[in-house]
Structure 1
Amino acid sequence: MNQYNSSIPKFIVSVFLIVTGFFSSTIKAQELKLMIKINEAVFYDRITSNKIIGTGHLFNREGKKILIS
């Protein structure tokens, strides 16, 4: 009976570690996608010499907003 009782907490801990590992890897993947988008925006900015404002909108030299689809 004592052996059965000690295996339940080990199972709960292992499931908890697996679940937290999955969620942390999902968050890291989302951060990586965001970094890739930011790098693409900066690269696009260097090519066209347009300004990117902190809100994510793109403006040309005259200050007109550029729509990105």
Structure 2
Amino acid sequence: MANKKEKIMDKIEDLNMERAMIREEMEELEKKKKEMKKEKYEKLKAKYEKKLEKIREKIRKLEEELKKL
């Protein structure tokens, strides 16, 4: 049981690290915003936001699984 909890916690930690990296990429994108076309900026921003939402959903599911244990 504790082993399963540890695995879930590790997965959540990994997802949080991935989310932090995506946020950093979004910050870089924001800095370069003026250098690129608006359409390209919007497309990339939407791509990153979609990735973040997927990660949030995975974390939510894992946290629910943790509560059940």
Normalising by structure 1, we get a TM-score of 0.53
Count of aligned residue pairs for this structure pair: 43
5+ residue gaps, structure 2: 46-69
- Determine which structure has the larger strand proportion and give its number: 1
In the TM superposition, what is the alpha-carbon distance from 1:49 to its structure 2 partner? 7.0
Q: Of 44, 58, 67, which residue of structure 2 is paired with 1:56?
A: 44
Counterpart CA distance in 2 for 1:49 and 1:36 is 18
Normalising by structure 2, we get a TM-score of 0.53
5+ residue gaps, structure 1: 1-12, 58-69
Moved over 3 A (4+): none
Aligned-residue RMSD, C-alpha:
2.0
Which structure has the larger Rg over C-alpha atoms? 1
Percentage identity across paired residues of the two chains = 5
Q: Could you say which structure has the greater relative contact order, defined with CA pairs below 8 angstroms and 6 or more residues apart?
A: 2
